[in-house]
Structures are given as C-alpha cells and as structure tokens.
C-alpha cells in the first residue's frame, strides 16, 4: 500500500476516538548528537505532549532521571526547573528500555529490579572507564595521559540503570578510517562482555544483557549483532549494559496495559505487570495480548521511531534486520493486524544530526528497509526531528481542541 503523507496522517488521527502514540526520543524529537549532554528539547514540543495527556507515552533506551536524563532537558526547555513537576510537564512513559517508569509529574519507579542489580549498575560506569583506559592505547596511540583519560571519561554515559559506552567522540579521532572504527567496535563488544562475566561472578548471571545500537538483529545465540562501520555509515556507536527484560517490545505491552486501565478501569495484564516478568519473544507477547485483552478495547496505536536497519547478508541469501525501534514497531503492527486497527508506523530521518545514519533523501531507504521486509513503514518524516515536531504540534492542537475521551 502507498505511504501516507504527513498531512493525510494528521487528518486520519485527528478524529481517532482512542489513540495511544508510543514514541522514541533521540533522533525523533531531538537531533542525534555526539555528546548527549549537548541535547536540547523544544519547549513547544513539551507543551504539545502535555496537551495529549493520556494519549502519548515515550518508549526509549535513554533514561528519565540523572544528569543525563531527559527530565533535565524538559526543565531546561521550560526554564523553571520546578514547573514540570508542579504542572505535570515531564514526558510520561518508559525509559531504559522499559525498566524505568515515570508519570507526567516525574514520579519514577523501577518495577522488578533488585537492590543487588542496582548496586552493580551504580559501579559499572567507573569500571567501564577503567577498562577503556586499558584498551584504548593500542587503538588510539596518538592519545596519552590526561587526553586519553578525558576521552575515556566522555565515552561513558553514567546513567542509572543502563550505563553505556558511546563511541561517537572516539570516532572523531579516526574520521573516515573504517578499519580503525571497526576495531573500536570489536573492542567495545569485548569490553562489555567482560563486564557481563564480572556480573555473573557476583551472582548476577542472567540479570543483564547488551543492547547494541544500531544493530543488525540477533545471532543464533540471541545476542544483538554489531553493525560494522562502513563509508558513509558509521554503524554501531553505542552498547548499553541493560537489565534483562529491558526490551521495547515488552515495554509496549506495559504501556498498553496502563492505557487500558486508564480508559476501562482495569489492567488486563495485572497491575504488577512489568518488562521483567513479561515474555521476551515477540510471538509470546502477541499471544499474551490475544489471550488477555479484548480486541474491542485495543486503542489505535501509533509507533514513532528512527532506528531501523536492514543490510544484505554477506552470502547474499537474505537480510540482517535490526535497529532498536524495529521490535516494538513490528509488534505494534502485528497487534493492529490481529484486532483490526490500522496501527501506524512512523519513521523519522535521524541523519540530519551529528551522527552518520542512512538518510531518507533519495527515497530508497537503503540500509533501513528492504523489499522483503515485513515491517511496513506507513509515514516518513524525511526532514527529521524538526518536521516531526511541527507535525506533532499540529496533531496535539487538533486533538486538544475537540472532545477526545
């Protein structure tokens, strides 16, 4: 089927009776940047989210709280740091892949997470920095002493429940050197697997997994594949050390469960349902919805993301598909097919920022999707976050002006 234009999509959603927009953040409503601490958020976007209260939730691998959290961006956008909590302007939904739950007043919880796991996570950033100091000299011999320490420190994102190593700043020292960029990606994978082994040694085997972004789907062992750097596409830039169960597909069901509770007065999956108790396999998640949620109570779901990948396999026999948004977008699409709702998938072009990403510009979507891809992209936002924010503000104004339940 032909894709909808943003204007056609706006018209379609304006009159929807029961709507839930589930949206990623970085690359969607904010440009991708090499240093996440330099991100900024449009205050008009924050106000548009507030006007869609009950019809919108975030689903991000970033985090709500901490110095790197999105809550700080909301406070900066609105100038008054007390206003978001006072008037409910924080972005509601799930962060850290699904383990960090927040309402619009910033009330936050980590359902299903143990104190032992939180303690290990708190220590992980300093350990990541130490391991980088051991491994980087062989790959970046031009850096020494304090310069090397500064680079290692900047690469570690000290988030609360998904500490991350981000290679963007390191890649800046080897621009265009694909061989070195690939060696850095391999080093990063080995380092993070070492951290997994250290967690297991402390009795936390199975508590964590590695989220590779962007990735090329999963291998036979269920691990996410690195997307190797190539000319014009730097590939994998981040690996996040995440709590098992922190997958957006499961997070989608948590948000759906909450939405139905608000609208119908009961949680079909139970009040305690969370990503750590949810199934992990997409088929099992879909089966759970079919078993527990009446089709007539399903809202119209709209999924918005930017990170979807597809690359031809080396032997030419198929495609390696991945991306941190692909799983939840696929599940959202499958839920629509089951319940008869025209659930929609929106893809925002995140190549306009500081990070090399495949672009929508030529219309081919090469590196993003392929002719055999089961994921149907209904709406493209080729001009990136600026276009999406302008469209989102229009939608919010249209829906908040009418009698939407």
Residues annotated as catalytic (active site), given as ranges: 386
Q: Which residues make Cβ contacts (< 8 Å) with residue 204, sequence separation at least 6? A: 116, 117, 120
Which tokens in the block code for residue 195? Answer: 């951290």
Give the integer Cα–Cα distance in Å for 301 and 251: 14
Work out the burial of residue 277: count CB atoms within 10 Å of its CB; fewer than 13 is exposed, 13-18 middle, 19 or more buried.
Answer: middle
**Pair of tokens at residue 173:** 């020292």
Q: Kindly report the number of other CB atoms within 10 A of residue 105's CB atom.
A: 14
Reduced to 3 states (helix: H, G, I; strand: E, B; else coil), residue 20 is strand
Angstrom distance (rounded) from CA 121 to CA 199: 9
| CB burial string 27-39: b at 16+ within 10 A, e below | bbbbbbbbebeeb
Q: Three-class SS of residue 216?
A: strand
213 dihedral zone (left: phi>0; alpha: psi -120 to 50; beta): beta
Beta carbons of 369 and 375 less than 8 angstroms apart: yes
Exposed e or buried b per residue across 207-242, where buried means at least 16 C-beta atoms within 10 angstroms of its C-beta:
bbbbbbbbbbbeeeeeebbbbbbeeebbbbbbbbbb
Closest CA to 307 of 244, 232, 383, 235: 235
Using the 8-state DSSP alphabet, how is residue 348 labeled?
E
State the first-to-last Cα distance of the chain, in angstroms, to the nearest integer. 30
Q: Which neighbouring-strand residues pair with 15?
A: none
The DSSP code for 62 is: S
């Amino acid at each position: 089927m032909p894709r909808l234009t943003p204007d056609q999509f706006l018209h379609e959603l304006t009159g929807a009776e029961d709507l839930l927009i589930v949206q990623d953040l970085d690359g969607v409503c904010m440009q991708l940047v090499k240093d996440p601490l330099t991100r900024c958020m449009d205050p008009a976007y924050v106000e548009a989210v507030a006007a869609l209260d009950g019809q919108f939730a975030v689903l991000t691998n970033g985090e709500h709280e901490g110095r790197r959290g999105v809550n700080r961006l909301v406070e900066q956008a609105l100038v008054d740091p007390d206003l978001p909590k006072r008037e409910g302007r924080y972005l509601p939904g799930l962060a850290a892949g699904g383990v960090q739950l927040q309402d619009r007043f910033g009330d936050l919880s980590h359902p299903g997470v143990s104190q032992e796991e939180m303690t290990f996570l708190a220590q992980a950033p300093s350990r990541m920095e130490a391991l980088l100091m051991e491994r980087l000299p062989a790959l970046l011999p031009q850096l020494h002493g304090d310069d090397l320490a500064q680079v290692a420190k900047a690469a570690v994102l000290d988030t609360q429940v998904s500490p991350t190593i981000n290679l963007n700043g390191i890649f800046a020292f080897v621009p265009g050197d694909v061989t070195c960029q690939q060696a850095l990606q391999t080093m990063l994978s080995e380092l993070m697997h070492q951290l997994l082994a250290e967690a297991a040694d402390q009795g936390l085997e199975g508590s964590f997994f590695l989220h590779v972004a962007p990735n090329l789907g999963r291998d036979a062992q269920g691990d996410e594949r690195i997307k190797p750097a190539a000319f014009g596409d730097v590939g994998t830039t981040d690996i996040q050390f995440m709590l098992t169960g922190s997958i957006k597909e499961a997070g989608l069901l948590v948000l759906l469960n909450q939405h139905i509770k608000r609208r119908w007065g009961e949680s079909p999956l139970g009040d305690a349902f969370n990503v750590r108790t949810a199934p992990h396999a997409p088929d099992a998640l879909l089966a759970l919805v079919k078993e527990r949620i009446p089709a007539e109570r399903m809202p119209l779901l709209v999924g918005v993301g930017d990170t979807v990948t597809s690359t031809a396999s080396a032997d030419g026999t198929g495609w390696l598909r991945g991306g941190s948004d692909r799983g939840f977008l696929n599940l959202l699409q499958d839920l629509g097919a089951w319940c008869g709702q025209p659930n929609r998938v929106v893809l925002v072009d995140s190549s306009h920022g500081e990070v090399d990403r495949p672009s929508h510009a030529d219309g081919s979507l090469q590196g993003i999707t392929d002719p055999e891809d089961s994921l149907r992209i209904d709406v493209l936002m080729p001009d990136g976050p600026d276009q999406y924010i302008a469209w989102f503000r229009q939608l919010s104004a249209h829906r908040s002006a009418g009698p939407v339940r």
